[in-house]
């Protein structure tokens, strides 16, 4: 598998998990414009008409507001991937409801604990802790090869790492892990106090320090030796830099002698893992 992060941040999010055997893929969220989706897929060497499903993490606009235009553009190219989201998320997100009006697009409800098959992959769904109607992360597996299945972990928009999430991310080869803010920058930054409190809460976003602690636990835990690459996700442009989370995650791996590579996922630039 390959993970193409098309965009990550408060101005819009989208990523593609590609089945490298078949060239098919699953889109995670679409909070960016159709032009950027198509351009970054082309840059990644991925054909967007090979998308077989869209998984929606939650209802916030930076994750769903571009989906309708993108789906209509894909439909004109002959592709109508199925959209999967929590019914609570569907009810809370007008852009998602608009997207589902696209001719030929089907909807399927999504619940924690589901194992969803699409594009020759299986997506295992787990809850995250965020101030949304409901929010999910995913573990993708391709069990078609010999030996242990290849696995990709994807978790953003969560204020804490729950035991359920930690278990789902264990033993992955590629990991997309939220590292939203530096605690000091958040405390000193321009946001109003209620917004700062929300971001730092258990239903907000992971800090660099929280992400580093989780990465260390995964790298030293069962299957940690399979980890090859990590992307720091949803990096705040006001309360973080792209350098700080990479350093925080890289430092914990260096301390335990783990060889996995660390990069930041960017708001306006493609990043591919795998």
DSSP 181: B
Please report, for the domain that includes residue 203, its CATH number: 3.60.15.10
pLDDT at 114: 97
Task: Supply the range of the domain harboring residue 233.
Answer: 2-273
Task: Name the band, by pLDDT with cuts 50, 70 and 90, for residue 228.
Answer: very high
Instruction: Work out the average pLDDT over 191-200.
Output: 96
Report whether pLDDT(145) > 60.
Answer: no
pTM attached to this predicted model: 0.97
Whether the Cβ atoms of residue 153 and residue 175 lie closer than 8 Å to each other: yes
DSSP 48: G
Beta bridge pairs of residue 151: 141
Number of domains in the chain: 1
Q: What is the side-by-side order of every strand in the sheet holding 2-7?
A: 107-109, 82-85, 51-55, 25-28, 14-18, 2-7, 271-273
Distance CA(216)–CA(195), nearest Å, equals 29
Whether the Cβ atoms of residue 269 and residue 43 lie closer than 8 Å to each other: no
Q: What is the side-by-side order of every strand in the sheet holding 150-155?
A: 115-118, 121-127, 136-142, 150-155, 174-178, 229-233, 261-264
Report whether pLDDT(267) > 80.
Answer: yes
Report whether pLDDT(146) > 60.
Answer: no
pLDDT at 149: 79
Report whether pLDDT(156) > 80.
Answer: yes
All residues at 6 or more sequence positions from 65 whose CB lies less than 8 Å from its CB, including other chains = 12, 31, 95
Instruction: Work out the average pLDDT over 97-122.
Output: 96
pLDDT at 61: 97
């Amino acid at each position: 598998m390959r993970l193409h992060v098309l965009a990550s941040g408060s101005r819009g999010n989208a990523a593609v998990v590609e089945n490298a055997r078949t060239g098919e893929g699953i889109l995670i969220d679409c909070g960016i414009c159709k032009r950027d989706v198509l351009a970054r897929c082309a840059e990644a060497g991925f054909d967007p008409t090979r998308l077989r499903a869209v998984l929606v993490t939650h209802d916030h606009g930076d994750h769903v507001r571009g989906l309708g235009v993108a789906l209509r553009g894909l439909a004109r190219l002959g592709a109508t991937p199925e959209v999967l989201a929590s019914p609570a998320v569907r009810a809370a997100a007008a852009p998602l409801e608009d997207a589902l009006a696209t001719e030929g697009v089907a909807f399927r409800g999504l619940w924690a604990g589901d194992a969803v098959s699409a594009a020759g992959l299986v997506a295992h769904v787990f809850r995250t802790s965020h101030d949304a109607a409901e929010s999910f992360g995913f573990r993708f597996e391709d069990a078609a090869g010999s030996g242990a299945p290849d696995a990709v972990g994807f978790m953003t928009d969560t204020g804490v790492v729950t035991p359920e999430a930690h278990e789902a991310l264990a033993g992955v080869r590629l990991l997309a892990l939220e590292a939203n803010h530096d605690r000091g920058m958040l405390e000193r930054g321009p946001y109003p106090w209620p917004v700062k409190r929300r971001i730092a809460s258990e239903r907000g976003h992971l800090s660099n320090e929280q992400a580093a602690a989780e990465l260390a636990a995964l790298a030293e835990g069962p299957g940690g030796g399979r980890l090859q690459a990590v992307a720091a996700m949803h990096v705040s442009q006001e309360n973080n830099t792209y350098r700080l989370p990479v350093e925080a995650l890289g430092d914990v791996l260096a301390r335990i002698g783990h060889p996995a590579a660390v990069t930041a996922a960017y708001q306006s630039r493609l990043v591919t893992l795998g």
